[in-house]
Amino acid sequence: MAKTFLPYAYLRWAFLSFQDANISIATHALHYGTAAFWGIRVTVTDEWNALFFRLDDHAKRLSRSAHYLGYEIAPEFIRSRLIEFVEMNKPTTSIYIRPLVYTSDLDISPRLHEIEKDFLIYGIELGDYLSADGVSATISSWVRQSDASFPLRAKISGGYITSALAKSEAVERWFDEALMMNSAGKLSEWSGMNVFLVRDGTIITPGVTEDILEGITRSSVISIARHLGYEVIERSVDKSELFIADEVFLTGTAARITPVKKIEQYILPADRPVFSALKSYMNTIFSREATPFSYWIEEVKF
Ligand code: PMP
């Protein structure tokens, strides 16, 4: 699929053209997955202002992810570089920014100590990641990794092998997306999104100890739902609950909030009052109407 990359990237402590932002084939992280990334969407308004969603939280989470790799990089530093990135690139359409911290040494021993690290940023133009109408889902034969093996609260690059296996398996079975169970047999999340169910008007989502990534969109949706008066329960979810749910939806930065139409052979109801209320409230926040969550949007003028 053709991608439009933004003209400037950041690598080895400097901005340079995307074409010149290259690394060696011997780069340690390429071989061991010893990197951590995050994804941030920026929307562009008619007045050519860029709107970041929860920029501070994204910067904080990337800083924490770097910490797991033994790399201290301050959230303020990340935040400033992300703003400069947008100012330099002057996007004209919705974009997705990908910052990455990685072991940049050309060394062959898998380790995190005494090894050079770097921080890079690049961006692509990105519209809908999944169909806004809804997706079909299979339950993957691949089990979500356990936090006992590596820190699942970070987006550690090496961990995405499981997401890739699950996503490709789903597509090969003619589904759009894959739901993964955790090693205890409870629902965890999708290949790159968090999962929510609605049962009898109550919103349910796997808790943060169910081997999920603590998604920023997940926490935003929980806050909005509670603000709208819904009960939200974070708990273990059984597979069988998926087949009798009134609604199932997914959340993520790239995918935003997307409904699920079908799980395996079970067709979910087409009427989705809770999903619709949440989606429309998210749109209200992005349209910059005053809400208690207006502070989540940060505007950069260029
Ligand atoms: N789970 C996984 C495995 C992810 O990679 C992501 C991000 N793409 C999410 C959940 C959603 O997180 P966020 O809402 O912060 O994008």
The pLDDT tens digits for 5-48 are: 999 999 999 999 999 999 999 999 999 999 999 999 999 987 77
Q: Hey, whose CA ends up nearest to atom 8 of ligand 1?
A: 192
pLDDT of residue 302: 80
Q: Which of 62, 191, 213 to mutate to test the pocket of ligand 1 (most atoms within 8 A of CB)?
A: 213
Tokens of 95: 């974009």
**Residue 107: is its pLDDT beyond 80?**
yes
Which residue, among 93, 99, 100, 98, has the nearest Cα to 125 in the 3D structure? 93
Residue 287's pLDDT band (cuts 50, 70, 90): confident
CB-defined site of ligand 1, < 6 Å? 39, 155, 163, 189, 192-194, 213, 215-218, 251-254
Is residue 196 within 8 Å of residue 204, measured between CB atoms?
A: yes
Mean pLDDT over the full length of the chain: 95
Residue 143 confidence class, pLDDT cut points 50, 70, 90: very high
Query: Number of C-alpha atoms within 13 angstroms, CB side, residue 241?
Result: 22
- Return the amino acid letter for 132: A
Measured between alpha carbons, how far apart are the two ends of the chain, in Å? 29
Predicted pLDDT at 43: 92
Distances (CA, A) of 247 to 11, 88, 239, 271: 43, 42, 14, 8
The answer to whether 226 and 180 are in contact (CB under 8 A) is: no
Contact 137, 57 (CB under 8 A): no
Contacts of 151 (CB under 8 A, 6+ apart): 65, 68
The protein residue whose alpha carbon is closest to atom 4 in ligand 1 is 192
Find the DSSP H helices in 175-233.
216-227
Phi, psi of 242 (to 5 degrees): -60, -35
The residue nearest atom 12 of ligand 1, judged by CA position, is 215
Closest CA to 278 of 163, 213, 194, 176: 194
Who has greater pLDDT, 168 or 1?
168
252, pLDDT greater than 80: yes
% of residues, the chain, pLDDT over 90: 90
Poorest-pLDDT segment among 16-30, 127-141, 151-165, 187-201: 127-141
> In the numeric block, which tokens belong to residue 272?
């989705």
pLDDT digits (tens, 9 = 90+) for 76-87: 999 999 999 999
Of the residues 52, 193, 210, which should be mutated to test ligand 1's pocket, given the most ligand atoms within 8 Å of the CB?
193
Whether 154 has a pLDDT exceeding 90, the answer reads yes
**pLDDT value, residue 49:** 87
Structure tokens at 158: 């090496």
Confidence check: pLDDT of 292 > 80: yes
**Residue 129 pLDDT grade (very low, low, confident, very high; cuts 50, 70, 90):** confident
- Tell me the pLDDT tens digit for each residue of 164-191: 999 999 999 999 999 999 999 999 999 9
The two beta strands, 232-234 and 202-205, are: parallel
Can you tell me the mean pLDDT for 284-290? 89
Q: What is the pLDDT of residue 84?
A: 97
Judge residue 205's burial from the number of C-beta atoms within 10 Å of its C-beta, 0-12 exposed, 13-18 middle, 19 or more buried. buried
Inform me whether the pLDDT recorded for 254 exceeds 90: no
pLDDT band at 1 (very low <50, low <70, confident <90, very high): low
